[in-house]
Structure 1
């Protein structure tokens, strides 16, 4: 998994995350081995939650 920081102006808003594909080995009744892709490669965005300061009120 790789993360690329995403900025809006000078503030960090989140990370663009890329996940590689996932493969599993599968054997059939004859003993032949095959690889199945169970999750394709994908991109996503993970936002950064706003952290409250010492003097901020919680809602």
Structure 2
């Protein structure tokens, strides 16, 4: 499975997580939390540029 960066909404917050989590190593396996979709997307973009992994934005799918 190729790692991917996922952005999802969790109540009022937004989470950025790499799946599978093992791809980031033990210290970075937990999702990062952001207060807005914009900051979550910016963080995911930086991570994608560093790793080359694709971004899956699930925030739009939830309405």
Greater gyration radius: 1
Higher helix proportion = 2
RCO higher in structure (CA 8 A, sep ≥6): 2
**Structure 2 length-normalised TM:** 0.27
**Structure 1 length-normalised TM:** 0.28
Higher strand proportion = 1
